[in-house]
Amino acid sequence: MPHSRSTPNHNHNGIMEYYCYNGRRIETPSSLLYSYHHNARFNRKRSLLTLAVISIISTCGIFYQLKQEDRLLEERWNMDIAKANYSTDCEIAVAMASDLQSTRGLFASINSIVTNYQDERKLCFFVFSSLEDAEVRKQGMDCVFQSSSTSTTSSTSTSSTSSIQEVQQRDPSILPSNVQIIHKQIRRDTWEPVIYSQSEAEHEHEHKWALEYLYIRYMLKPPDLEGMQRVIWIDSDTIVRGNIAELFDWDLQGRPVAGAKYWEPLKNYLCTNPRLDRIKMKTRFGRTSPFRVNDHLNTGLLVMDLYQMHRQRILDKWHTLLLSHELDCLWTESDKAFDLALNGHYAELPNVWNVGYLGTQEHHRYNGACQKAKMLHWNGMGKPYTNEGRGISLCVDQFDEYDIVSRQNKGQCMSIVSSAVAATSTGGGVSDAIRSNS
């Protein structure tokens, strides 16, 4: 049969279509080519859909894994607390510490908190002292404050808010039945990880405050607080005029701490190190470099969720920053490292809960702050409880209102502490002062 030469057909678009059959090139039906393109598009869509499903499954798997890790972490955390079997019935925890020179301020601060406390829940003060100061601190505290259970002048029923206030009005040195002071010793050898620099440790003797008192607030754990997982840290150079229960119930929304901001830019406390630009701080305007943060967290008052501190590894982040700081300066004041470790991720308290810089008139920017503040903070050189500091301190009358040493004629209690301070300065040691007052 003679070979007949075929001529290509043109489809409606004018494109010649061919396909091969038994080695011969013959015309391709338009429907077959359409089917090929259709299948190719379908395969591409199926591939994209498969990738999307795999991505969703992977994301869900990662999310599930993280949730499982959080659950296991929380279970271990709660199990460790349950194993300790704490016997305390504390419901609200306040932690404080100070060196012996600031003891009068500590007494006044505790008195102000108790006086303005309006809640039936049991309030526990955890007062931390170094090994050297612990015995003198307890003697002085027991001299100033008496438990209502051991006082013959206290009411037999002080569980209600009104009876608490009645006891305080009669004698502020008598603690209501729902208030307890618990003494704790600072164990620096158990601190992990290390968050203070080697230079600070080497020059510790040159500073007024020991490292124990500077860093104990960040190292608090439930075993230090009879199992409490939430605590309010308050500096000793403060007067609290608000109800502390309001702070304890503050909604942290999953953040590790809450505190008040001060208006000075964070960069004022940082070194000009370009490494800091790698840190992105959370602000109300989005994430930005620490050098562009227009304020900073003051740690004189902190509402702390200790589980979230642990879960979010705040101290581990601080330790990592410290390693960089040891190589090349990152900050000029160590507490600002806490700001960097938090990345700005903290709940903001109203400014009335930390009206500060009252220890220097340089930053007096308040209008009626002495009367409106819920907490007055004498950070700065001037302290209203020292002779040399009263002249440059603001709102001194507010301190005098709660100065239990002068108002309740507790001068003999301060002599215990003063003797210890004098003995330490002359090289005699605290134990000599304890024997001389016993």
pLDDT for position 55? 82
Would you mind telling me the total number of residues written for the chain in this entry?
438
Decide if 314 contacts 341 (C-beta within 8 A).
Answer: yes
pLDDT for position 209? 64
Decide if 381 contacts 360 (C-beta within 8 A).
Answer: yes
* CATH class of residue range 92-437: alpha beta
Decide if 317 contacts 301 (C-beta within 8 A).
Answer: no
Say which amino acid occupies 428.
G
CA distances from 103 to 139, 164, 231 (A): 12, 25, 21
In degrees, rounded to 5, the angle at the alpha carbon of residue 112 between the alpha carbons of residues 151 and 223 is 80
Residue in this structure with the two tokens 């210890």, named with its chain if needed: 420
Decide if 331 contacts 271 (C-beta within 8 A).
Answer: yes
For residue 117 the two structure tokens come to: 């406390």
State CA 338 to chain mean position distance.
Answer: 8
Decide if 399 contacts 238 (C-beta within 8 A).
Answer: no
pLDDT for position 369? 82
In degrees, rounded to 5, the angle at the alpha carbon of residue 319 between the alpha carbons of residues 302 and 99 is 50
Distance CA(150)–CA(146), nearest Å, equals 7
Decide if 146 contacts 133 (C-beta within 8 A).
Answer: no
Residues 6+ apart with CB under 8 A from 97: 127, 128, 129, 186, 212, 213, 216, 217, 236
Residue in this structure with the two tokens 């012996």, named with its chain if needed: 100
For residue 302 the two structure tokens come to: 């902190």
SS (HEC) of the chain? CCCCCCCCCECCCCCECEEEECCEEEECCHHHHHHHHHHHHHHHHHHHHHHHHHHHHHHHHHHHHHHHHHHHHHHHHHHHHHHHCCCCCCCEEEEEECCHHHHHHHHHHHHHHHHCCCCCCCEEEEEEECCCCHHHHHHHHHHHCEECCCCCCCCCCCCCHHHHHHHHHHCCCEECCCEEEEEEECCHHHCCCCCCCHHHHHCHHHCCCCHHHHHCCCCCCHHHHCCCCEEEEECCCEEECCCHHHHHCCCCCCCCEEECEECCCHHHHECCCHHHHHCCEEECCEEECHHHCCCEECCCEEEEEHHHHHHCCHHHHHHHHHHHHHHCCCECCCCHHHHHHHCCCCEECCHHHCECCCCCHHHCCCCCHHHHCCEEECCCCCCCCCHHHHCCCCCHHHHHHHCHHHHCCCHHHHHHHHHHHHHHHCCCCHHHHHHHHC
For residue 397 the two structure tokens come to: 């009358």
Residues 6+ apart with CB under 8 A from 209: 99
Task: Show pLDDT as tens, one digit a residue, over the chain (438 residues).
Answer: 555 444 454 444 444 445 454 555 545 555 555 565 666 676 777 778 888 888 888 778 776 666 666 666 666 666 666 656 677 799 999 999 999 999 999 999 999 999 999 999 999 999 999 999 999 999 999 999 987 654 433 333 444 455 555 555 557 789 999 999 999 999 999 999 999 998 898 887 766 568 999 999 999 999 999 999 999 999 999 999 999 999 999 999 999 999 999 989 999 999 999 999 999 998 888 899 999 999 999 999 999 999 999 999 999 999 999 999 999 999 999 889 999 999 999 999 999 999 998 988 655 555 678 888 999 999 988 999 998 899 889 899 999 999 999 988 888 999 889 888 877 665 555 444 444 444
Say which amino acid occupies 330.
L
Strand partners for 270: 331
Pairing of strands 301-305, 257-259: antiparallel
